[in-house]
Amino acid sequence: MKLAWLRSLETSHQDCVWACTWVPATDKSPGLLLTGSLDETVKLWNPEDLSLVRTNTGHCLGVVSVAAHPSGKIAASASMDSFVRVFDVESNNTIATLEAPPSEVWQMQFDPRGTTLAVAGGSSASVKLWDTAEWKLVATLSIPRPEGSKPSDKGNNKKFVLSVAWSPNGRQLACGSMDGSISVFDVQRAKFLHHLDGHTMPVRSLAYSPLDPRVLVSGSDDERIHMYDAEGKTLFSSMSGHSSWVLSVDVSPDGAAIASGSSDRTVKLWDPKMRAAVQTMTNHTDQVWGVKFEGGGGGVRGCLLASVSDDKSISLYNYS
C-alpha cells in the first residue's frame, strides 16, 4: 500500500480549510471534491485538475463540516453560525436550513442509505438525527450523564460532541467527545449502548471500516489512533507516530489502510496489521484538518485521497 502525491492547489480558499468530503458521481456529473473553509464558503472541485466547479455562499461564519448524500445529488455544510445548509449539488439551490442553538453544530454525516443526517451536537452532549425526506428532527441521541452526577454538574461540558460516524450497515452510530470518550448508539431503537474508553483527550475524528461494521477507528488530541471492536467494546489496537493532535482519520475503501491528518502538518498512511505508519506526506505547511478517501467501500484498492489544511491548500494523492 502506498500514497503517490498527484497535485496540490495552494490558495483553494481565502482562509483555513477545515473540512472535505467526496460527492459520489451521478448520471449527470462525475465525482467531485467538496471543501469547507473558515472563509465562510463551500467549494466543489473537479479532482482531475482541481479546477473550481462552483462556490457556495450562505454562511456568515466559518464552515466546520461538509457531508455528501450517497446519491451524489445533495450535500450539506455546517457552520459556526449554528446553521446546517442543505443544498442541491448541481444547482446550488438551498433545499433546507437546519438551525441549532449556538455551539451545537459540529461534524455531520449522512447514513449509508441517505435517509438520515446525523449532526454532532457539541455542547448539547448529543447527536441530532434529521430525516432527509422532510428535513425534520426525528431523534436526539443523548450521552447519559456519569452515574452519581447531578444535572447542575458542569461535567456534561466534557461530553461536548465533536465527531460522528455511521457504521456501514447504518445500524449503529458512534460519536466522539471532548473528554476522550466515544459513545455508541443503536440508531433504530435510539438507544445508548456503551462507551469506548482509551483516549485521554478530545476525539476529533471517527471512521468505521467500510468492510466490517464492528471496526471503528478514532483520532485524538492525545496523538494516538485507536481501533476498536465497537460491538465488543474492546480496544484492540493503539497506534502512535504523529507528534501532535490527530485531527482526522479515514479508512480506505478496501479496508486495508488508514489515513490520518495532524497538527504536526503531516498526512500519514497506516497499515493496521503492522500497527504502524508506512508513509508520511509532508506537502502541507500547517495543520491538516481533513483526510478523505474517495469511494464508499466495496473492497476496491486504487482510489484518490484528499487532504485539506490551515495552509488554505488542497492536496490529492493516489492510493494503491
Mean pLDDT value of segment 163-167: 97
pLDDT tens-digit readout, 25-57: 998 888 999 999 999 999 999 999 999 999 998
State the Cα–Cα distance between residues 77 and 19, nearest whole angstrom.
9
pLDDT at 297: 46
Strand 314-319 versus strand 51-56 pairing type? unpaired
Alpha helices in 157-314 (DSSP H): none
The single-letter DSSP state of residue 146 is P
Confidence of residue 115 (pLDDT cuts 50, 70, 90): very high
For 125-159, what is each residue's pLDDT tens digit?
A: 999 999 999 999 999 999 987 665 555 455 445 68
pLDDT digits (tens, 9 = 90+) for 169-204: 999 999 999 999 999 999 999 999 999 999 999 999
Confidence (pLDDT) at 28: 85
Alpha-carbon span 199 to 270, nearest angstrom: 19
Using the structure block, give the residue that is written with the C-alpha cell 470518550. 181
Q: Percent of the chain, pLDDT > 70?
A: 94
Prediction pTM value: 0.93
Q: Residue holding cell 473492497?
A: 299
Question: What is residue 136's DSSP assignment?
Answer: -
pLDDT in tens, 252-261: 999 999 999 9
Integer Cα distance of 214 and 172 in angstroms: 9
